Amino acid sequence: MPADVPPPARITIDRAVDAFLASHGEVSSPNTQKNYRLLLNKLKAFSTTRCYVLIEQWNPIDVHEFRASWSVSPVTASKQMTFVKSFFEFAVSNEWIVRNPARLFKDVRGKADGKERVPFSDDELKRMFEACDTKCGKMPIKRSRKTHHRGAQEKPSITDTAGSGQDLADFISVSLYTGLRISDVCTFHIDRLLNSGECHIRTAKNGRKVYTWIPDWLQDRIRGRAAVHGPLIFGEHGAKDMNVVTDVWRRKLKRVWALCGPWPERPTPHRFRHYAEFRTMPSKISDPLHLQLLNLQLERNQAGLCRTSFGEW
């Protein structure tokens, strides 16, 4: 007769969450840790509504109802469900529960939202660069103390002047021609640019670096900034939190957009990336088809079927 399998240890949800977060403390990025923490706080709050104390009290139906309580997009929900599955799989590996209640959960695939990914037009870019040349750094602005949608208990606002328009123009140019995320542009290092004019934009899963070519005039601007500001062409950042660094540049971009509006389509930093993909498509294709191909490519990217580089268009 085989020996009876001992029952799993009776572990509280709070202890399981703390252990899971601690296991990711050294191996995950700060943003990933933050996302885990926020989601697991929701899980603990949901457990409280069910009067659950032990992790073994969770069942598959609880996972379904927990997922139904989220008011997020389908893409975000799918990503968050991977976090939930990872948490319960961690509990299984530690023998706190016998099975993962989220293992068999599958999101119902819905229809695409149909929202068109619109890059910046040439006219919009022209207005942005004109604002950088003629208005930025030359007009007083009001800088609100409201941060992350939460008002501070201080003076409502202060008056200041915007930063260098040339800095913003260079930031926009690098974003347009590389398609890098705003966090990567903020920390752009001169080592990304090769003598051949190719710029490192990302690293593939197999470790191979992917490059794109940028025009000579932008190469000169990047090397000129490196000579003045050092290897980080947009300067050293005192803050270590990347969210703080990117927020500084988001505010600068919003000031430029406020100076050259109105905008038919809300301007966002991600539209620079759409433009970078749009720019690499064959010029013989008409504009409507350009946008159709861009939307198709972005949908494939979300499904994990992205191509190895922009240059393969």
Residue 170 lies in a domain: yes
Q: Are 62 and 50 a contacting pair, CB within 8 Å?
A: yes
Same domain, 48 and 141: no
The predicted pLDDT at position 5 comes to: 60
Same domain, 135 and 236: yes
d(CA 182, CA 164): 18
Same domain, 162 and 217: yes
Count Cα atoms within 13 angstroms, Cβ side, for 85. 12
The pair of structure tokens assigned to 74 is 């389908």
Average of per-residue pLDDT values in the chain: 79
Same domain, 86 and 130: no
State mean pLDDT over 50-63: 93
- Confidence label for 289 from pLDDT (cuts 50, 70 and 90): very low
Q: Give the range among 15-24, 35-44, 102-111, 288-297 with minimum mean pLDDT.
A: 288-297
State mean pLDDT over 29-44: 91
Question: Considering only CA atoms, which of 262, 257, 275 is closest in space to residue 212?
Answer: 275
Residue 137 lies in a domain: yes
Residue 107 lies in a domain: no
The pair of structure tokens assigned to 144 is 């609100």
Same domain, 268 and 166: yes
Residue 299 lies in a domain: yes
Domain residues for the domain of 58 are: 13-93
d(CA 120, CA 270): 10
Count the domains in the chain. 2
d(CA 69, CA 72): 9
Same domain, 56 and 161: no
Q: What number of other Cβ atoms are within 10 A of residue 198's Cβ?
A: 17
The predicted pLDDT at position 202 comes to: 87
Q: What is the CATH number of the domain that holds 171?
A: 1.10.443
Dump pLDDT digits (tens) for 59-117: 999 999 999 999 988 888 888 999 999 999 999 999 999 999 998 887 666 555 556 67
Q: Are 13 and 47 a contacting pair, CB within 8 Å?
A: yes
- Confidence label for 30 from pLDDT (cuts 50, 70 and 90): confident
* DSSP-derived secondary structure letter, 155: -
Residue 101 lies in a domain: no
DSSP letters along 214-243, please? --HHHHHHHHHHHHHH-SBTT---S---HH
Share above pLDDT 90 across residues of the chain, in percent, rounded to a whole number: 45
Residue 8 lies in a domain: no
116 phi and psi angles, rounded to 5 deg? -80, 135
Same domain, 167 and 251: yes
How do strand 140-144 and strand 209-213 relate by DSSP bridges? unpaired
Does residue 303 have a pLDDT over 80? no
Residue 28 lies in a domain: yes
Same domain, 78 and 127: no
Cα distances (angstroms) measured from residue 6 to each of 14, 58, 61, 203, 252: 23, 19, 25, 46, 60
State mean pLDDT over 184-193: 94
Share above pLDDT 70 across residues of the chain, in percent, rounded to a whole number: 74
Cα distances (angstroms) measured from residue 218 to each of 37, 147, 195, 227: 41, 33, 13, 14
Q: Are 182 and 271 a contacting pair, CB within 8 Å?
A: no
Please report how the helices 74-93 and 30-49 are oriented relative to each other, as an axis angle in degrees rounded to 10.
Answer: 80
Same domain, 211 and 307: yes
d(CA 58, CA 264): 47
- Confidence label for 278 from pLDDT (cuts 50, 70 and 90): confident
The predicted pLDDT at position 114 comes to: 54
Question: Considering only CA atoms, which of 228, 268, 229 is closest in space to residue 128?
Answer: 268
Does residue 199 have a pLDDT over 50? yes
Same domain, 161 and 219: yes
Q: Which amino acid, one-letter code, is at 39?
A: L
Decide which of 93, 110, 134 is a domain's last residue: 93
Dump pLDDT digits (tens) for 110-159: 555 556 678 888 899 999 999 988 887 655 445 454 544 444 444 433 33
Same domain, 135 and 280: yes
Same domain, 190 and 254: yes
The predicted pLDDT at position 189 comes to: 94
Residue 293 lies in a domain: yes
Q: What is the CATH number of the domain that holds 85?
A: 1.10.150.130
